[in-house]
Amino acid sequence: MTRVRRVVIAGGGTAGWLAAAILTKQVGAMVEVTLVESEEIGTVGVGESTIPTVRAFHALLGIDEREFVRATGASFKLGISFEGWSREAERYMHSFGKLGHSTWMADFHHFWLEGRAQGVADELGAYCVEHEAARGERFAGGQDAALNYAYHFDAGRYARYLRERCEADGLTRVEGKIARVERDGESGDIAALIMEDGARVEGDLFLDCTGFRALLIGDALGVGYEDWREWLPTDRAIAVQTTATGPAVPYTRAIAHDAGWQWRIPLQHRLGNGIVYASDYLSEDEARARLLSTVTGETLIEPRTIRFRTGRRVKAWERNCVALSLAGGFVEPLESTSIHLIMIALTRLLQLFPFDGVSEAAAARFNDMAQREVEGVRDFIILHYTLNQRDEPFWRRMRDMPLPDSLATRIALFRESAQAFQASDELFTVTSWVQVMLGQRLMPDTHNRLARMMPPGRLQQTLGQLAGQVAGAVRGLPVHQAYLDRM
> What does each C-alpha distance from 106 to 101, 181, 218, 415, 462 come to in angstroms?
10, 54, 46, 16, 15
Mean pLDDT of the region 328-334: 94
Closest to 351 in 3D by CA, of 374, 335, 369, 337:
369
Q: Which residues of 439-450 are buried (b: 16+ CB within 10 A; e: fewer)?
A: bbebebeebbee
pLDDT at 386 over 80: yes
Report the pLDDT value the prediction gives residue 40, as an integer from 0 to 100.
Answer: 78
So where are the chain's domains? 6-75+152-229+310-373, 236-307
Q: Which CATH number fits domain 6-75+152-229+310-373: 3.40.190.10, 3.40.1350.10, 3.10.20.70, 3.50.50.60?
A: 3.50.50.60
Q: Higher confidence at residue 407 or residue 89?
A: 407
Q: Residues 115-153: pLDDT tens digits?
A: 999 999 999 999 999 999 999 999 999 766 689 999 999
Report the pLDDT value the prediction gives residue 1, as an integer from 0 to 100.
Answer: 67
Report the pLDDT value the prediction gives residue 144, as an integer from 0 to 100.
Answer: 63
Strands 236-243 and 270-277, how do they pair? Answer: antiparallel
Instruction: Label residue 424 by pLDDT band (50, 70, 90).
Output: confident
Q: Is 315 a catalytic residue?
A: no
pLDDT at 364 over 80: yes
User: Do 237 and 276 meet the contact criterion of CB atoms below 8 Å apart?
Assistant: yes
Instruction: Label residue 372 by pLDDT band (50, 70, 90).
Output: very high
Instruction: Label residue 2 by pLDDT band (50, 70, 90).
Output: confident
What's the distance, CA 70 to chain centroid? 22
Indicate the average pLDDT of the chain: 95
Instruction: Label residue 43 by pLDDT band (50, 70, 90).
Output: low
> What does each C-alpha distance from 108 to 168, 210, 281, 336 come to in angstroms?
48, 44, 40, 26
What share of the chain in percent tops pLDDT 90? 91
How many other C-beta atoms are found inside a 10 Å radius of the C-beta of residue 27? Answer: 16
Mean pLDDT of the region 80-87: 96
Angle of helix 430-439 relative to helix 405-417, nearest 10 degrees? 80
pLDDT at 480 over 90: yes
Q: What's the CA gap between 201 and 13, in Å, rounded? A: 19
pLDDT at 81 over 90: yes
Both ends of the chain: CA-CA distance in Å?
50
For 104, list phi and psi in degrees, rounded to 5: -70, -20
Report the pLDDT value the prediction gives residue 143, as an integer from 0 to 100.
Answer: 67
Strands 270-277 and 304-307, how do they pair? Answer: unpaired
In the set 77, 98, 177, 315, the catalytic residue is: 77
Closest to 163 in 3D by CA, of 270, 71, 301:
71
Phi-psi region of 325 (alpha: psi -120 to 50; beta: other; left: phi over 0): left
Mean pLDDT of the region 393-404: 98
Q: What's the CA gap between 106 and 218, in Å, rounded? A: 46
SS (H, E, C) the chain: CCCCCEEEEECCHHHHHHHHHHHHHHCCCCCEEEEEECCCCCCCCCCCECCCHHHHHHHHHCCCHHHHHHHHCCEEECEEEEECCCCCCCEEEEECCCCCCCCCCCCHHHHHHHHHHHCCCCCHHHHCHHHHHHHCCECCCCCCCCCCCEEECCHHHHHHHHHHHHHHCCCEEEECCEEEEEECCCCCCEEEEEECCCCEEECCEEEECCHHHCHHHHHHCCCCEEECCCCCCCCEEEEEEEECCCCCCCCEEEEEECCEEEEEEECCCEEEEEEEECCCCCCHHHHHHHHHHHCCCCECCCCEEEECCCEEECCCEECCEEECHHHCEECCHHHCCHHHHHHHHHHHHHHCCCCCCCCHHHHHHHHHHHHHHHHHHHHHHHHHHHCCCCCCHHHHHHHHCCCCHHHHHHHHHHHHHCCCCCCCCCCCCHHHHHHHHHHCCCCCCCCCHHHHHCCCCHHHHHHHHHHHHHHHHHHCCCEHHHHHHHC
Instruction: Label residue 111 by pLDDT band (50, 70, 90).
Output: very high
Evaluate if pTM is beyond 0.85. Answer: yes
Q: Which residues of 180-218 are buried (b: 16+ CB within 10 A; e: fewer)?
A: ebebeeeeebbbbbebeeeeebebbbbbbbbbeebbbbb
Report the pLDDT value the prediction gives residue 42, as an integer from 0 to 100.
Answer: 64
Poorest-pLDDT segment among 44-53, 90-99, 229-238, 367-376: 44-53
Closest to 253 in 3D by CA, of 242, 235, 265:
265
The number of residues in the chain equals: 487
